[in-house]
Structure formats: structure tokens, C-alpha cells
Amino acid sequence: MKVVIAGAGFGGLKLARLLNNRGGFEVVLIDRFNYHQFQPLFYQVATAGLDASNISFPLRKVFQKSNNVKIRLAEIKEIRAAENVLITDQEQISYDVLVLATGADTNFFGNQNLATHAFPMKSTVEALQIRHRLLQLFENAHTIRDADTLQNLMNIVVVGGGPTGVEVSGALAEMKKYVLPKDFPELDFSKMNIYLLEGTAKTLSAMSEKSSAQSRKYLERLGVNVMTQTIVKDYDGKLVLLDNGNTLSAATVIWAAGVKGNVPAGIDASLITRGNRIKTDRHCLVQGSFNIYAIGDLAYMETPKYPNGHPQVAPVAMQHAAMLAKNLRLIEQKSNSDRLSEFEYFDKGSMATVGRNLAVVDMPKPKLHFGGFFAWLIWMGLHLMLILGVKNRFFVFSNWLYNYITYDQNLRLIFREFERKR
């Protein structure tokens, strides 16, 4: 069985590893990057807490000892389902089974100004762009004499009060408190403002009331201006227009307010639902198809427990992959289709960190909530376990330990591309 997996995120990579060196399978794993990205820690790359290489792992290294997994670095252009062919910018790839695990991208909800001027954070490259932007702004601040221009530069707006928005806001607040005043003593960082804007009534709205309340308290303790029930209508690169007509002056807007599925061309438009996700059955099979599956953030599956689809988080993608790997093995062995598993999400809990010694953890069974230092330790331990590679775990832990002891980060580097002299 030739299984082509489009996307090497949490779901795609998990599926490839479960089929690795399995008899009866030929696997082709396609991604536009040659590395797996650990998305939960993008915000630490953006705020100079971790190096990009610490949270990225080469795909070919994962499968160095594989005899049935091939890696292809390519952009997916189109699916030709009738021909069982996937078109990329490099080649045409035939398949017996196609698994779409292309994940989700930033959703600017059709606003071109936001797409042009705000900074998304859905890839390692985008996290590095934010880091470059922040550091370069403060370097430029020394030459600015106009008070309004300087204030605009020192204001940062984060849009979206989910885990990403909360975590990046907390990290920026800690930079403001511990790092930036030492790096730029000429600047008055008491005038630096960090705004976190959230359209609903609370931060971390998908978590418990305790976690929402605690996260807001922690953020405000760190000096973040939390503005709930506030929707961004527009942004021109200097002024953020809010739904109530007010404006915020800010040179930098980090957008963490929504995602939309990366749906390849060739998928029937009637199968695409809200959030740009593809409708699937309980086996992750795309509705109306017999050999195309969708897993992870891209899949929209209604179940009795989740009538509006599952949350777009890594555990869902990995559990999708585990179920699909089991089912594909049964199909390859031509077993009775009645033995195929139906997906049921096992929610192990959710968590978010706000800053040093500050985090929140919710566990559903038994129903428990943790906050503060103990929750922060749980958050760190779980993330270290999930990162690929012993070396990556070592460097991440070393950086965290260094930062904890010194109240400092050591990765504040600005890399520029220079034109080669001829």
C-alpha cells in the first residue's frame, strides 16, 4: 500500500513513524520544510528565549534507519482524486491512500490590511521574523526624537487571548521587565505598553473559569494591559482600529486570533466547512472518498461528544494518526471492515504558561486544576517530553535553566541579508 502523507506536523509525522518499517507499506512524507516544527514553543523563539534549531528537527534524521519512508520537500499544488495523483511543484506522486495533514494557517478573516501589516506566528520562520522585528525596533528607537513616534514604536499589541496570545504576551512582559532595560539603558521602558486583545469575555476561553481568571491575573501582574470583549477591525501599520471606534497606536501587532485549514486544491468545495476544514467521517475518511483521509487541524469530524468538531490542538492530531495507522494496517491485511476503529478523542487536559513560575493546567479526569509554580513545572516537563531529539531537549532545558537563574536570554541576534558585492 502506497501511503502519501501531506504534511509533517504532529499528525503527519506521527502517522509516518507508526508506519515506519512496517511490511506492506510504502510511505511518502511531503512537507515544504525539511524539518518538523514544535509549534507550542514558537513564542519563545519570537521572544529570544530559544533558538529556532532547538524546536525544529530534521525529517530525514527521524527516518535515517527507515526502509520504507521517503521524504519529499515540495509545495502541494493539487489533488486529482480520479487519477489517485497528488501534484506538487516538483513532481506528480501517485498514491493508494492519501492522508492530508497540512494543518492550519493564520486566519485574518479576509482583512487584507491585517494580513499585510500584522505578524502571524504559525511557523519557525514567522517566529524569527517577529524576533527580528522587535529587536530592530529598539535599535532604531535611539534615533527617534519625536515622542509620539517613539511611543508608537514601544507599543506592542497581541491579538487573541488563547494559549498563544497569553504565552507571547507574558514572555514580552518578562522581556520588558528583566532583559530590555539592561540591553537598552537609554530607553525608558516604563513607557512600553503590551496590549492583549481578546474578542470574548475572558482569556483562555476554552479552559476552565479558574484558568481564565488566573491567567488574566498573572498577565496583569506582569504589566500586560488585558482588554477583553475587544475586536480588532483594521490595522494600517501604525494604528489599530477597534470595534468600539477607539484606536491604539502600535508599530507591532502580533496576530494570534484564529486559524484556518490549509485545504489543497482539488477538494470538493461542498466538503469544506467553517474554519476551512474538511468534513470527514469517524475514520478520518474525507466524506465521499474511499482513499483520501484528513487528520489534525484540517479535519472536521462531528461526534456525539464534539458536535462542533474537535479542538485544533496537537493531541487530536496525534490521536487521529494513531487510529488511522491501526486502521490502515487492517485494510492492508484485507481484514473485515467492521474491525476498523472509530475515532473518540481522549482529552488528557490543557495548559498554558504565562511567565516565570506562572502557568495554569486543567485535567478532565479526575477533574483537577493547578496554577502557579506547580502548574509551571508540569507545563515544562510535558513540553520537554514532546520535543523530538535528545539534543533538542538538552538545549531547551539548558536555555530554560540559564534564563531561570540569570533572568536573561542569550539569543538576541539580528541577522540581515546583505547584497553580495560583485
- Residue 320's domain is classified under what CATH number? 3.50.50.60
Query: How far apart (Å, rounded) are the C-alpha atoms in residues 146 and 318?
Result: 51
In a domain? residue 353:
no
Residue 154 CA, chain-centre distance (Å), reads: 26
What tens-digit pLDDT sequence spans the chain (422 residues)?
999 999 999 999 999 999 999 999 999 999 999 999 999 999 999 999 999 999 999 999 999 999 999 999 999 999 999 999 999 999 999 999 999 999 999 999 999 999 999 999 999 999 999 999 999 999 998 889 999 999 999 999 999 999 999 999 999 999 999 999 999 999 999 999 999 999 999 999 999 999 999 999 999 999 999 999 999 999 999 999 999 999 999 999 999 998 999 999 999 999 999 999 999 999 999 999 999 999 999 999 999 999 999 999 999 999 999 999 999 999 998 876 678 999 999 999 999 999 999 999 999 988 999 999 999 999 999 999 999 888 899 999 998 998 888 888 777 877 765 555 55
Residues 275 and 236 in one domain: no
Residues 150 and 244 in one domain: yes
Residues 268 and 244 in one domain: no
Say if CB 204 and CB 163 are below 8 A apart. Answer: yes
Query: What is the rounded end-to-end Cα distance, in angstroms, of the chain?
Result: 52
Give per-residue pLDDT as tens, 229-288.
Answer: 999 999 999 999 999 999 999 999 999 998 999 999 999 999 999 999 999 999 999 999
Residues 48 and 70 in one domain: yes
With cell 526624537, the residue in question is 145
Contacts of 285 (CB under 8 A, 6+ apart): 292, 293
Domain count, the chain: 2
Q: What is the model's pTM? A: 0.92
- Single residue among 322, 339, 356 that ends a domain in this structure: 339
User: What's the domain range around 38?
Assistant: 2-106+259-339
- Residue 223's domain is classified under what CATH number? 3.50.50.100
Residues 50 and 36 in one domain: yes
Contacts of 390 (CB under 8 A, 6+ apart): none
